């Protein structure tokens, strides 16, 4: 009986790190390696698997390779359909398919947080289709009247500050809209007091593991490090930390990067949330091993 119990325990400690098979940049593999190293230290046996290797028959839930799935996985991808399929087949995912979906689509993030945390005014841009485009842009006049110039146009899907445009007048707004290529997009209030700076709070479980102040001195209004910004360790106030944790928990995230903007009177507002936030930069800025924190949270939950 003891040997059988030990075998079950070993089986429960086996899982996957599920990644996107088409991303080949070194920054992604460094992240996966950090998670694997932290898992090894914690006694979790995590195998790297791509979404290509885990192609599923969505009529039965079986993988094309007909493999036996482990009980859990760290799902470090945005292939939400695969995540939902694996959950339906009985796997527990960190983060869950629903959490990833809510964070990956910026409009769904704001809808889920509506009237629950402070957010900039954010307007859904009317849906069109890529083959049709925006045959009528007069709705931008109503958005401009509501938000005022300048305002921000964002593609609903995108990371590292890509697909985010600042429109200072109607011509710039139309030009930014055309760059969205008919994909889902939002228009958002520009928070001038947070120009080129924000806070990234990395929430793991029920607390903020680390936080950094991102600031961009290149003249770009985006604070993202990928857009030329720099990062320094930042100590959150109790209210700021509570806001970040509440935001991540409302979206169902076990771990997440929560981006906060500075309001005119020092109050914070939630800009966006990344369920698969890269952590090399914040670990370097703060000295906190985020991979260790993530693995610890996963181990507690399995």
Residue 152's nearest CA partner among 191, 117, 111 is 191
Give the per-residue pLDDT at 9: 53
- DSSP track, 221-283: S---GGGT-EEEE----HHHHHHHHHHHHHTT-SEEEEEEEE-TTS-EEEEEEETT---HHHH
- Total count of residues recorded for the chain: 302
pLDDT per 10-residue tile (average), the chain, 302 residues = 54 92 93 97 97 95 93 97 97 98 98 98 95 94 98 91 92 95 94 93 97 86 68 96 98 98 93 96 97 98 94
Give the per-residue pLDDT at 182: 85
Name the token pair of 257. Answer: 């990067």
Q: Would you call 64 exposed, middle or buried from its count of C-beta atoms within 10 A (0-12, 13-18, 19+)?
A: exposed
Q: pTM of the full predicted structure?
A: 0.91
């Amino acid at each position: 009986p003891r040997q059988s119990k030990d075998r079950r325990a070993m089986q429960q400690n086996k899982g996957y790190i599920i990644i996107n098979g088409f991303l080949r940049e070194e920054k992604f593999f460094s992240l996966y390696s950090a998670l694997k190293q932290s898992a090894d230290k914690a006694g979790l046996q995590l195998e790297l698997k791509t979404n290509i290797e885990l192609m599923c028959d969505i009529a039965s839930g079986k993988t094309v390779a007909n493999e036996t799935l482990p009980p859990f996985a760290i799902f470090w991808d945005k292939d939400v359909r695969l995540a939902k399929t694996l959950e339906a087949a009985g796997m527990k995912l960190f983060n869950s398919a629903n959490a990833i979906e809510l964070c990956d689509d910026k409009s769904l993030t704001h809808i889920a947080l509506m009237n629950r945390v402070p957010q900039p005014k954010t307007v859904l841009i009317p849906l069109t289709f890529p083959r049709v485009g925006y045959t009528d842009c007069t709705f931008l006049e109503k958005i401009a009247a509501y938000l005022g110039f300048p305002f921000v146009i964002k593609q609903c899907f995108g990371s590292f500050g890509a697909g985010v445009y600042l429109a200072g007048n109607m011509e710039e707004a139309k030009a930014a809209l055309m760059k969205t290529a008919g994909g889902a997009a939002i228009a958002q209030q520009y928070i001038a007091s947070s120009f080129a700076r924000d806070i990234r709070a990395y929430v793991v479980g029920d607390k903020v593991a680390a936080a950094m102040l991102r600031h961009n001195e290149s003249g770009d209004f985006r604070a993202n490090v990928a857009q030329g910004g720099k990062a320094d360790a930042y100590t959150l106030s109790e209210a700021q930390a509570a806001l970040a944790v509440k935001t991540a928990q409302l979206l169902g995230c076990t771990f997440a990067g929560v981006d906060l903007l500075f309001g005119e009177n020092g109050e914070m507002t939630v800009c966006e949330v990344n369920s698969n936030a890269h952590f090399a930069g914040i670990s370097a800025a703060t000295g906190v091993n985020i991979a260790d924190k993530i693995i610890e949270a996963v181990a507690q939950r399995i």
